[in-house]
Amino acid sequence: MQPPNPPKPKLEFLNNKPPPNYVAGLGRGATGFTTRSDIGPARAAPDLPDRSATTIGGGAGPAVGRGRGKGGNEEEEDGEGEDEKGYDENQKFDEFEGNDVGLFASAEYDEDDREADEVWDRIDKTMDLRRKDRREARLKQEIEKYRASNPKITEQFADLKRKLHDMEESDWESIPDIGDYSSRNKKKRFESFVPVPDTLLEKARQEQAHVTALDPRSRAAGGTETPWGQTPVTDLTAVGEGRGTVLSLKLDRLSDSVSGLTVVDPKGYLTDLKSMKITSDAEISDIKKARLLLKSVTQTNPKHPPGWIAAARLEEVAGKIQAARQLIQKGCEECPKNEDVWLEGCRLASPDEAKAVIARGVKAIPYSVKLWTQAAKLEHDVANKSRVLRKGLEHIPDSVRLWKAVVELANEEDARLLLQRAVECCPLHVELWLALARLETYDNAKKVLNKAREKLSKEPAIWITAAKLEEANGNTAMVGKIIERGIRALQREGLDIDRELWMKEAEAAERAGSVATCQAIIRNTIGIGVEDIDRKRTWVADAEECKKRKSIETARAIYAHALTVFVTKKSIWLKAAQLEKTDGTRESLDALLRKAVTYRPQAEVLWLMGAKEKWLAGDVPAARAILQEAYAAIPNSEEIWLAAFKLEFENNEPERARMLLAKARERGGTERVWMKSAIVERELGNTTEERRLLDEGLRNFPSFFKLWLMLGQLEEQLGQLEQAKEVYESGLKRCPGCIPMWLSLASLEEKMHGLSKARAILTMARKRNPKNDELWLAAVRAESRHGNKKEADALMSKALQECPTSGILWAACIEMAPRPNRRGKSTDAMKKCSHDPHVIAAIAKLFWYDRKVDKARNWLIRAVTLGPDIGDIWAMYYKFELQHGTDELQKDVVQKCIAAEPKHGERWQAISKAVENSHQPIEAILKKTVVALGKEESAAESAAKVVENSH
């Protein structure tokens, strides 16, 4: 059994105290670290100094435990208890370091700590400097805000002081003198009056006397001496003359200005205070400071031109024009090679001296374009202007600006010669080449453009001008070739073809009358830079933008090119047809539609548009032929059947219309065919056939509300009210959301049983169809018709709560309101629905009643613009012009109404759908609607008078 191994002896240095600043493992890079969990909540006490050493040695050791505090030699005189612990148990919590303030309390404050504090101090100063501008700006803003809210007395009355120049002398004299109101509280002083001695009166008389003869004593001296004591002490006449002399000197000084004209009227000096600039003390002080500063600038750096210019302008602002001229003259002497100084001197000089100043300037700087241009402006004669400019061109032959100026002043022949010389001197300026080409003959212009193309191979304007030249001389076949060749040449030169810029050039060519050039540019550039997937959308958008800018030929060219790519796209054909309809001729539209139906024979709308245009042009046989072709292409199209029926029906061919509808019914037409058939029979007066068709149509289409309405109206016309009521009730069971049927039933009940039954019907309708403004308006009108003003107002309030954005309700509310309250109601209506045509028309009617004709006209125009489909507003507008407008305005309203083709409107529909007005034109219906409006207004006025008399 082996004896156990003896324990290894511990190394001796492990029991010794480590040297100062020793960190275990630092040499091999294994440095340790201490976390909060290792330390725990308590803080370790610092090493206490050896008190025995200080006691024996009698000296104080180095101060320890200073922590973040800076080192010092002062002695610690704390209590013994604290010295023993080394830290204060009751120390305060540090907001910056928390409870860690005591961790390094025992560390010495060495050189590294001092250096770190200095670094942090510098960082704090740097950060403070960064924030200085923002801090000063914020402080300045606060000061300005305070001054704005607490102005000085002088600032408060500054605007009133400026108005004093409007006061006349009589106004000043009429200001009463303020009395001494404090004299009531003062003791009355004793006032004594002493008589004036005679000697004083005699002396005053002598002083004011006018002496016309020499004194004998002065004559004794030959009249050359004045005896002492004979000169008057105060001569009031001389004083007045002296004041006049001073005033004339001031006026002479103020009469001089930059233009040499008088700025002060000597005769109206007192009343012409506006011409004098009253400078405050602060402005005078600023001018003095600026004068000193600019004087320093001009003295220290006399070769600096902006300093002289600024100094001269300062004196000009101060009103010292002579000093300004002297300063700028010195500036011209010091800086003779600066054109701005000479221009400023010319501006400040009087008109007589300006030419001399600019002459010295061009002599000093003969290559300055600005000086030669200014010299030409100073001349009043065209010949002298041209002479000056030609003199300038002798010194600066490559100045395009001077060449343009001299060419503008010359006649056509001289301009051509000048431009020939100009293109030699400035061969790289395209405008000169193009101007010369315009003035030359056709052959010479071609030569000029060829030379220009050689000099400027990357200039598109030369190719465009060449195309315009060929078009102007009738060679339209060459236009497209030139543009195509030009684009290829430019691309070979590396020039990027900008599609947008070329489109602008096309529009410019159109405005210049070069339509073929415009079309050629569009044809060759419209597809550049556009992806295939985006071509249709992009081209249509470009055409619409050109149409908005009134570039019709450009838009037409875009559509023409698009239709060569997208031949079968119906939308593009329709856009192009719409363009021809609004901005083209009937022939161009007909040709386009013929071409369109060739490529898209299945497009009903294209056939119908072509037939309608022929019909509107008065060519009914051609319209019939187009519809026959359309029927052959699309045999089962109901739209074509109905269009053919309408054509025959509107042209008083009822038998043809009846046959067409019969064929359509046989082929299984929709509910519209049955409705049109019933309308034809109503026109012809065949009530039996009409009832049969309606009954048959309702058996096939029981949910089509128009057939129910027509059947109910037929029963009403025949006087069978009970049957009409049953029809309406049956129709409402099938179509509970049909508002016109509810209104018809309510109107019928009001005729048969009075208001109470109609009120119940309308209440039921509102429950079935909530938030419907037409039902609310019908209920309000029913109450108003029976004189129930309070009930009508209550219903209107509820209606506006349920339908706050309804225009027809707000319009009715404005009309129902008393006259003083209508303005307030109209304001509320504009807040809720500012773009509703009914509201706009109601407000226009208010202006109309107040005799504000221009405002009423503007609001009516706005109303018909917002609602062109509402015939009632057109009738109101036409009635207004009949009352306040001229014949031209009335005709204009009628034409616009015919173009708009209104279909809606309460009164308009009632008149246009009446049997006797079925074939009437729009103008006749418009005039009948105006008559109906007049009758309604007369009835409303009479009812209002009756109500007033009853009250």
- In this prediction, residue 70 carries a pLDDT of 44
More confident residue, 225 or 586: 586
Give the total number of structural domains in the chain: 3
Closest CA to 741 of 768, 705, 790, 771: 705
Indicate whether 158 belongs to any domain.
no
CA distance 338 to 391: 20
Give the angle subtended at the CA of 414 by the CAs of 413 and 418, to the nearest 5°. 125
> Any idea what DSSP says for residue 720?
-
Do 283 and 430 sit in the same domain of this protein? Answer: yes
- In this prediction, residue 56 carries a pLDDT of 39
Q: Which residues pair with 622 in a beta bridge?
A: none
- In this prediction, residue 39 carries a pLDDT of 58
Indicate whether 266 belongs to any domain.
no
Mean pLDDT score, 791-809: 91
Do 292 and 430 sit in the same domain of this protein? Answer: yes
Mean pLDDT score, 910-919: 83
CA distance 265 to 259: 16
- In this prediction, residue 86 carries a pLDDT of 47
Mean pLDDT score, 887-914: 90
Roughly how many angstroms between the first and final C-alpha of the chain, as a whole number? 140
Do 393 and 508 sit in the same domain of this protein? Answer: no
From 383, 404, 439, give the residue that closes a domain. Answer: 439
Indicate whether 47 belongs to any domain.
no
Is pLDDT of 556 > 70? yes
Lowest mean pLDDT among 58-67, 387-396, 682-691: 58-67
- In this prediction, residue 876 carries a pLDDT of 92
Do 488 and 556 sit in the same domain of this protein? Answer: yes
Is pLDDT of 210 > 90? no
Lowest mean pLDDT among 77-81, 384-388, 582-586, 668-672: 77-81
- In this prediction, residue 820 carries a pLDDT of 86
pLDDT category at 399 given cuts 50, 70, 90 is: confident
Radius of gyration of the chain (CA): 51
Mean pLDDT score, 895-910: 90
Indicate whether 318 belongs to any domain.
yes
Mean pLDDT score, 655-678: 80
Do 303 and 423 sit in the same domain of this protein? Answer: yes
Do 414 and 513 sit in the same domain of this protein? Answer: no
Do 314 and 403 sit in the same domain of this protein? Answer: yes
Lowest mean pLDDT among 22-26, 147-151, 353-357: 22-26
Do 401 and 531 sit in the same domain of this protein? Answer: no
| Range among 195-209, 268-282, 385-399 with highest mean pLDDT value | 385-399
Q: Could you tell me how far CA 858 lies from the centroid of its own chain?
A: 22
Q: Secondary structure of 472-522 in the HEC alphabet?
A: HCCCHHHHHHHHHHHHHHHHHCCCCCCHHHHHHHHHHHHHCCCHHHHHHHH
From 535, 566, 597, give the residue that closes a domain. Answer: 566
Indicate whether 884 belongs to any domain.
yes
CA distance 219 to 197: 32
Do 296 and 430 sit in the same domain of this protein? Answer: yes
Do 375 and 337 sit in the same domain of this protein? Answer: yes
pLDDT tens digits, 595-620: 888 888 888 888 888 888 888 777 88
CA distance 891 to 881: 9
pLDDT tens digits, 814-830: 988 888 888 888 999 99
pLDDT category at 840 given cuts 50, 70, 90 is: very high
Mean pLDDT score, 899-919: 86
Do 471 and 511 sit in the same domain of this protein? Answer: yes
Closest CA to 674 of 647, 701, 652: 701
Cα–Cα distances in Å, from 191 out to 140, 184, 188, 194, 362? 59, 16, 9, 10, 81
- Reported for 291-300, long-range contacts at CB under 8 A and 24+ positions apart, including other chains, are 291/315, 291/318, 298/327, 298/330, 298/331
Closest CA to 554 of 594, 534, 582, 526: 526
pTM: 0.53
Q: Where are the alpha helices (DSSP H) in 754-788?
A: 755-768, 773-785
Mean pLDDT score, 146-152: 81
| Range among 190-199, 213-222, 929-938 with highest mean pLDDT value | 929-938
Q: Which residues pair with 870 in a beta bridge?
A: 904
Overall size of the chain counted in residues: 951
Indicate whether 326 belongs to any domain.
yes
Is pLDDT of 188 > 90? no
Instruction: Indicate the average pLDDT of the chain.
Output: 78
CA distance 745 to 708: 12
- In this prediction, residue 248 carries a pLDDT of 63
Q: Per the structure block, which two tokens stand in for 153?
A: 């007395």
Instruction: Spell out a b/e string for 886-906, using b for 16 or more CB atoms within 10 Å of the CB, else e.
Output: eeebeeebbebbeebebeebe
Is pLDDT of 268 > 70? no
> Any idea what DSSP says for residue 916?
G
What's the CATH number where 420 sits? 1.25.40.10
More confident residue, 421 or 798: 798
More confident residue, 473 or 99: 473
- In this prediction, residue 439 carries a pLDDT of 78
Mean pLDDT score, 379-395: 83
Q: Which residues pair with 94 in a beta bridge?
A: 98
Look up tokens 């002296």; give the residue.
242
Which residues touch 323 (CB under 8 Å, ≥6 apart)?
A: 315
Contact 371, 341 (CB under 8 A): no
Helix (H) or strand (E) holding 705: helix 705-717
From 566, 601, 622, give the residue that closes a domain. Answer: 566
Look up tokens 């610690």; give the residue.
76
Which residues touch 940 (CB under 8 Å, ≥6 apart)?
A: none
Give the domain range for residue 553: 457-566
* Residue 155 phi, psi dihedral angles, 5° rounding: -70, -35
pLDDT tens digits, 770-799: 999 999 999 999 998 888 889 999 999 999
Do 305 and 433 sit in the same domain of this protein? Answer: yes
